[in-house]
């Protein structure tokens, strides 16, 4: 049997991310077994993956749980009838004193009323009947091990700040029988004024509600059997798109398999059987809203920590880019040109940083690759600028003969021609063409502007999980606008709104005849 110091060496897909487990200490699982056969079966499936602490009584298991230096990843009860599990002292103590532990029941068969009783009292988090799917159970136990330490580090919810009261949370009830839904809502509205009640006739309508800005939906209770998207499908989608929304599945049918799958895979808060009772649902919704607040607080904390870590990473990235570009362009343009380019990028909005971005930057050496590849492409572009006598004249491309394709690797050109190539790339990557440039001229200067915005959906200072050729091509082109404009004795000003960028390039007027 593995010990706590044994290491498990494999790779595991968790929430869409491959997690390397080579340096991950074998997670501990507390096993409460009711028969030797159940114990041997569990150990046969999982002894290579987990450090299993097996006990044949609640008292011995509780003694270990209370005295262990580190909490196990999960408590698993196996080999007992579900009717016995309802009265388990071990599960009750785990619920009351170790609420963050995953509580798993493995049983021969379970009735719907027993499953609902266990869920209603929060005695279990997962329930599996025979025959077992070891891979499914393994994934839940490893996920609990991976997330347990992180959850324990999360800060307590901050004290409520003084100020205007928060809007009332909303409970959204989804059912294709609007008469029953509206009758229930009227009953609940008479019983309380703590939360707002909304109704939708289909999963599609429910998703429209959830896309409404500033609508504080905290809880969604949906019927399972509906035309189109069914209830569990809706809750599965909400689990990804709205992780802080508490999900409840309801049905008039005694579908134990649906309830088990929803609890184990959909990660719902509760399974509620019809017919509805307003008083019962009032207590359930209050409990669900309290859970929503806990989830929202933890999610905000995680996002805040992620933003903080990415802000530090972004500063480091900027410094590395500056070091690289200064070595490439130091003899060509002033240092302020590089800063102006990076300041422009810093003002462009980007998607919020997520843990996947941090993992990509830290685990795959994405930062080094980004700086290296960007620097190499900048060097190639700079090397293609022919050295003319200053000031370099404006060539005819600005008078109507515009290049339509980026330069090839062996081509060289004047700074003005390279400016044209860079503008062409920026226009093309935004779905625009030369007709979207506006060129005006006075006696002293020529202005090139982009009245239609250039679309910059990602950039060098934005969260990244991979490098792409279009991204690098667009970013190099934008830098070359700054560089070539400087070489031509001009200046670049920018206007940023969201992910849209407008350029205003100011160049000296071309010399007149005989100049």
User: How confident is the model at residue 371, as a pLDDT?
Assistant: 92
> Which pLDDT score is estimated for 56?
94
In terms of Cα–Cα distance, which of 237, 263, 240, 236 is closest to 112? 263
pLDDT of res. 132: 80
Per CATH, 7-152 and 170-299 having the same topology is answered: yes
List, in order, residues 6 or more apart from 366 with CB less than 8 Å away.
360, 464, 465, 466, 467
Whether the Cβ atoms of residue 38 and residue 79 lie closer than 8 Å to each other = yes
Question: What pLDDT was estimated at residue 312?
Answer: 85
pLDDT value at position 266? 57
Task: Write down the pLDDT at residue 14.
Answer: 39
Per-10-residue mean pLDDT of the chain, 515 residues long, equals 38 40 64 93 89 93 87 89 84 82 86 75 82 82 65 42 68 90 88 91 90 86 88 87 89 70 72 85 92 87 84 88 87 90 91 84 83 92 70 43 44 81 92 89 90 92 91 95 93 93 90 54
pLDDT at 115: 78
Q: Give the Cα separation of 274 and 441 in Å (integer).
A: 75
pLDDT at position 197, please? Answer: 93
Q: What is the pLDDT of residue 494?
A: 94
The third-level CATH classification (topology) of the domain covering 170-299 is Rossmann fold (3.40.50)
SS (H, E, C) 366-383: HHHHHHHHHHHHHHHHHH
Domain ranges of the chain: 7-152, 170-299, 332-508
Determine if residue 431 is left, alpha or beta; phi over 0 gives left, psi from -120 to 50 gives alpha, anything else beta. left
The domain 7-152 is placed in CATH, from the list 1.25.40.10, 3.40.50.2300, 2.40.50.140, 3.40.50.300, at: 3.40.50.2300
């Amino acid at each position: 049997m593995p010990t706590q110091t044994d290491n498990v060496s494999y790779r595991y897909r968790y929430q869409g991310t491959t997690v390397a487990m080579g340096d991950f200490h074998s997670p501990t699982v507390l096993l409460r077994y009711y028969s030797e056969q159940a114990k041997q079966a569990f150990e046969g499936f999982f002894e290579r993956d987990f450090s299993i602490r097996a006990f044949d009584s609640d008292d011995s298991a509780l003694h270990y749980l209370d005295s262990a230096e580190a909490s196990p990843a999960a408590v698993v009860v196996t080999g007992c009838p579900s009717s016995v599990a309802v009265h388990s002292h071990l599960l009750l103590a785990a619920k009351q004193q170790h609420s963050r532990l995953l509580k798993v029941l493995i049983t021969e068969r379970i009735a719907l009323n027993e499953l609902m009783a266990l869920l209603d009292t929060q005695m279990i988090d997962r329930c599996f009947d025979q025959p077992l799917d070891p891979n499914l159970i393994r994934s839940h136990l490893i996920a609990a091990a991976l997330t347990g330490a992180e959850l324990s580090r999360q800060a307590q919810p901050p004290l409520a700040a003084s100020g205007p009261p928060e809007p009332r949370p909303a409970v959204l009830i989804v059912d294709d029988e609007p008469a029953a839904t509206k009758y229930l809502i009227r009953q609940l509205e008479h019983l309380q004024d703590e939360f707002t009640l909304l109704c939708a006739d289909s999963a599609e309508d429910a998703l429209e509600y959830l896309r409404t800005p500033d609508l504080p939906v905290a809880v969604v209770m949906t019927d399972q059997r509906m035309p189109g998207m069914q209830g569990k499908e809706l809750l599965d989608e909400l689990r990804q798109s709205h992780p802080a929304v508490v999900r409840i599945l309801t049905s008039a049918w005694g579908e134990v398999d649906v309830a088990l799958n929803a609890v184990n895979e959909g990660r719902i808060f509760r399974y509620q059987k019809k017919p509805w009772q307003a008083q019962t649902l009032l207590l359930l919704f209050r409990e669900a809203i309290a859970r929503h607040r806990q989830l929202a607080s933890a999610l905000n904390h995680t996002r805040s920590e992620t933003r903080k870590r990415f802000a530090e990473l972004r500063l480091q990235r900027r410094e590395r880019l500056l070091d690289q570009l200064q070595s490439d362009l130091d003899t060509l343009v002033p240092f302020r040109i590089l800063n102006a380019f990076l300041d422009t990028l810093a003002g462009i909005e980007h998607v919020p940083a997520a843990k996947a971005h941090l993992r990509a930057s830290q685990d795959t050496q994405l930062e080094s690759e980004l700086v290296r590849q960007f620097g190499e492409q900048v060097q190639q572009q700079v090397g293609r600028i022919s050295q003319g006598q200053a000031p370099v004249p404006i060539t005819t491309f600005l008078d109507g003969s515009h290049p339509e394709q980026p330069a090839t690797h062996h081509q060289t050109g004047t700074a003005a021609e390279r400016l044209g190539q860079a503008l062409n790339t920026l226009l093309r990557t935004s779905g625009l063409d030369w007709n979207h440039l506006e060129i005006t001229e006075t006696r002293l200067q020529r202005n090139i502007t982009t009245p239609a915005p250039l679309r910059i959906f990602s950039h060098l200072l934005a969260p990244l999980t991979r490098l792409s050729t279009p991204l690098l091509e667009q970013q190099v082109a934008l830098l070359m606008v700054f560089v070539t404009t400087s070489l031509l004795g001009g200046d670049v000003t920018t206007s940023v709104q969201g992910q849209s960028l407008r350029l205003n390039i100011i160049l000296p007027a071309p010399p007149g005849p005989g100049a």
